[in-house]
Amino acid sequence: MNEQLPPSPEKISYDVGGITISPAVVLAPMEGVTNIVFRRLIRSLGGPGLTYTEFFPSKSIAETQGKVLDEIAFDPEEYPIAIQIFGRDPAVMAEAAAVVQDLGATIVDINMGCPSKKVCARSGGSALMREPELAVEIVRAVRKVVTVPLTVKMRTGYDHDNKNAPELAWRFQEEGVDALTIHWRTKVDLYSGVRDVTPIAEAVQRVKIPVLGNGDVVDVPSAHAMMQETGCAGVMIGRGAVQDPWLLLKIARWMRNEPQPVINARERERVLLLYHEKISEAFGAERAALNRLKMVAKYFAEPLVFGKSFRKAVTRSQETSEALDHIRTYFSLLEAWEAGDLGAFDGTIFDEMEAAA
Ligand SMILES: Cc1cc2nc3c(=O)[nH]c(=O)nc-3n(C[C@H](O)[C@H](O)[C@H](O)COP(=O)(O)O)c2cc1C
């Protein structure tokens, strides 16, 4: 069984402030993606030991303005759930943390990893790694009010000359943080850069609390590499779960030494259409549902044949019906291709897009 896969890790769970996360494979927070519908979908397919919400601005939560509190939706059976907040004002972060704790967060997570303009412009997210004293102050303020486990998600540093994640990891531990996630990129790498997991390994050495490894875990071998090279307690999966919603299940099964699932074109189509149906129900407005569908479709078929053309076709669609037509056509062709018809895509819009690229 699983001869082609690397050996399973010996330990497949970890403890965050008294909560056991098992298996040690976690769905990452992703703005615009990991809403309640996407998280339900991933949980229904199986695999995650823990799911994260998208990030939420501490200021809006603290002031309870707008719809932010409605957006922090999760099911009672979605357990354990980490709710992530961002911001740079310690008092406001503490206030927001208390609110999300009262909403029922199993874990409160502080975002120090996001490189997006929206977050960093207000010097939250990964910009905080450049201001370690403020970062520690935020953690201290939040820890004072939060009784549930507290975690921090960060990058390895702000830039290549300042990979301070190991030092910050230790300081956060001393302030009472229960676990950490470290993405191997720095803030300036955004989503590119040359893979360097050494600072994650150093952080693992420096602290007693669990550290999750994050960044480009897209299959079982990359999950194994992350754990093997860093000694991390588990892996956090972001884009890989959008490309392949069964990825957490695959990693969980690998960890448990169970057979791998086999996913065909029809099953992929079923899951993407189901996602669209559910976001349409949940978000009402057709445009909002189409935008969320596009967000997922951007990654969904990336590793598959003609996947890049699929992405283009769906993301360029002006209307929902157009996007759905592309989805149905693509997966029918993929089914034929999987059945051995290697010319299935010839002369189709996907073929033309690939040729034009
Ligand atoms: C569309 C998108 C949205 C993201 N939103 C968040 C977020 O809300 N909070 C956060 O901490 N990280 C966010 N991230 C970063 C991911 O959680 C993760 O750290 C990063 O994508 C690297 O992991 P991966 O290679 O498995 O995707 C986001 C990433 C993407 C691609």
Query: Which residue lies with its CA nearest to atom 14 of ligand 1?
Result: 30
Instruction: Write down the pLDDT at residue 357.
Output: 82
Do 233 and 200 contact (CB within 8 A), yes or no? no
239 is in an annotated binding site: yes
Catalytic residues: 114
pLDDT digits (tens, 9 = 90+) for 109-137: 999 987 777 776 666 777 899 999 999 99
Residue of 38, 32, 43 lying closest to 278 (CA atoms): 38
59 is in an annotated binding site: no
Do 220 and 25 contact (CB within 8 A), yes or no? no
Ligand 1 centre distance from Cα of residue 236 (Å) = 10
Residue ranges covered by each domain of the chain: 14-255, 265-356
234 lines ligand 1 (CB under 6 A): no
Helices (H), 163-285: 165-174, 198-206, 220-230, 239-243, 247-255, 265-283
- CATH class of the domain whose range is 14-255: alpha beta
124 lines ligand 1 (CB under 6 A): no
pLDDT digits (tens, 9 = 90+) for 154-171: 999 999 999 999 999 999
Instruction: Write down the pLDDT at residue 65.
Output: 62
HSE (side-chain half, CA atoms, 13 Å) at 281: 8
pLDDT digits (tens, 9 = 90+) for 193-221: 999 999 999 999 999 999 999 999 999 99
